[in-house]
Each structure stands twice: as structure tokens, then as C-alpha cells.
Amino acid sequence: MNWTFFFQSSWLIGGRYFMIAGFAFLLFYVLWRNRLFYKKIQLRFPRYTDYLREITYSALTICIFSFVSVVLFKHPKVAPLTTRYYSIEAYGWFYYFLAFPLMLIMHDTYFYFTHRLMHHRALFRWFHLVHHKSTNPSPWAAYAFHPLEAIVEVGIVVIFMFTIPIHKTHLLIFFLIMIVYNVYGHLGYELYPKGFSKTAIGKWINTSVNHNQHHQYYTGNYGLYFLFWDRVFGTVRTDYDQRFEEVRSRKRP
């Protein structure tokens, strides 16, 4: 076990989580708590025990993600088999930038189908119940997974590393984007403008309202970044657009 790399990975993954989730929490749950309360998707705040549970499980998730990083990048029998590369010239700049939308599509697809699978009654309590204890999620819920679910979630990294060429900076940038969007999805506030969910582009983009409904009602809205698979399989909640407009149409009392 390469403990030095483990702690470096924990510092990187955990640092991004605590910095981004912490900044969002500070703004929306502390500094602007009363000023923006009328815009909160669910008009109540989580309990302090909810925050503690979310942070505790997120810390476990960070450790699991870091352990997998050690295996993929430092294990002498595993690392040489991965598709990781170090020189951009090896595949060119075109592929370097093309890899990001490709990774988004791959991750969104992986997330949708594993997410739906974990909602199966035989698996839900063992894998996904911990995350759904946040029925009114806060930014801290972004990584609040049961260890079994954390293993499923980090599986996308394994897929990346054994299917497509991955430059050493691809994962750094991609997972920075991922945690930002994940925190937004659990923010409890909607940042997209009124009418966005019905636009030609917006109807394919996941929103905070969309994911908040999933936490509140446990069914429907399974996507991560996009709503493509939700729309293909008819799993977008029928009240989603109405709920989005209701939240974004609220006036300051």
C-alpha cells in the first residue's frame, strides 16, 4: 500500500469536496440563510444531524476513492495495464479536448443505469439508502454514500482507465467539474433561470430541482448531468417542469 499517494489522493479529493461544498454551504445555508430562504426548493432546512451524517459518509467515500486511485495508478501489476498517458502529443490536442464530452456521456450513462439498479428493492437498503436519508439534501450530501455505493460510483474511473486514453490531467479536470455539478445538484436551490427546463437545451440538462425531487420522492429523475436517459425511458417525473417553474417563480415575501 502506497500510503503517501493514498494521503495525497485523499487531500486532493477531500480538498475539492470540502472547499466546494463548504463554499456553497457557507453562502446558501449561513450567510444568505434568511435572505434567500423563500427560494429554497424545499422550504425547510436539514437538521444538524443530517449535515453530520452527510459529512461522515462523504469522508468514508473519499477514503474509498483514494484507495482505488492507489490501485489504479501505483499498483505495479495494475498501473501498466491502464490507458493513462503523459504526453498530449501522443493523441493530439483534438482528442485531448474531445475526451471531456466523451467522459461526460460515459459517466452520465454509467450513473443512470447503476443508479436505477441500486433502486431495486433487493439492493436499495444495502447500497443506496444512506444517500436517500438526505430527503432534503444539502451540499454536503454530494459524496454521502454507503461504502458499497461508493465502490459502485468509483467504478466509472476504472472504466475510463481501461477503455479510452486518459491523460494525467483529464481526471483532475473532469472530477473537478463533476464535484461542482454534484454540489449544485444537492444544493437545495435552483440556479438555472425560469423557463430553462422547457428550452431546447434545458430539457436535456439535469437541474437541482430535478435531483431534489429524486431525493424527496425516491422515484424518477435518475440522471446525473443530463436527462437523455430519463427521457428515453420515461423516468422524468411528470411534475418536474411544474415544480421547476414554481420554484423559479417565487417572489420575495
DSSP 9: H
Is the pLDDT at 3 greater than 90, yes or no? no
Q: Is 0.75 surpassed by the pTM of this model?
A: yes
In the Cβ-directed half-sphere of 28, how many Cα atoms lie within 13 Å? 26
Q: What confidence tens digit (pLDDT) does each residue in 121-171 have? A: 999 999 999 999 999 999 999 999 999 999 999 999 999 999 999 999 999
What distance in Å separates the CA atoms of residue 82 and residue 216, rounded to the nearest whole number? 39
Specify the 3-state DSSP secondary structure of 84: strand
CA R_g for the chain: 19
Query: Which cell is 169 given?
Result: 490531467
Given this model, what pLDDT does residue 110 score?
98
What distance in Å separates the CA atoms of residue 47 and residue 45, rounded to the nearest whole number? 7
Torsion of CA 208, 137, 141, 125, to 10 degrees: -110
Q: What confidence tens digit (pLDDT) does each residue in 83-134 have? A: 999 999 999 999 999 999 999 999 999 999 999 999 999 999 999 999 999 9
Given this model, what pLDDT does residue 2 score?
85
What distance in Å separates the CA atoms of residue 133 and residue 124, rounded to the nearest whole number? 12
